[in-house]
Amino acid sequence: HLIHNILFPSTRYNFIGISEDFDGIRIILQQKYLSNQYSTPTQSDIDDYLIQGLGLQIERRYYYANDYIAITDVSAESDNVLSDGSTLYFIDPIIKFKKPAIEVLDYYYSLLK
- pTM for the model stands at 0.87
**Distance separating alpha carbons of residues 13 and 86, to the nearest angstrom:** 21
Tally of domains in the chain: 1
Whether 109 contacts 102, CB under 8 Å: no
- Structural domain for 44, as ranges: 2-112
CA–CA distance, 32 with 46 (Å, rounded to integer) = 20
Q: Are 70 and 64 in contact (CB under 8 A)?
A: yes
pLDDT digits (tens, 9 = 90+) for 86-113: 999 999 999 999 999 999 999 999 998 8
**pLDDT digits 0-9 by tens, 27-82:** 899 988 887 889 999 999 999 999 999 999 999 988 999 999 999 999 999 889 99
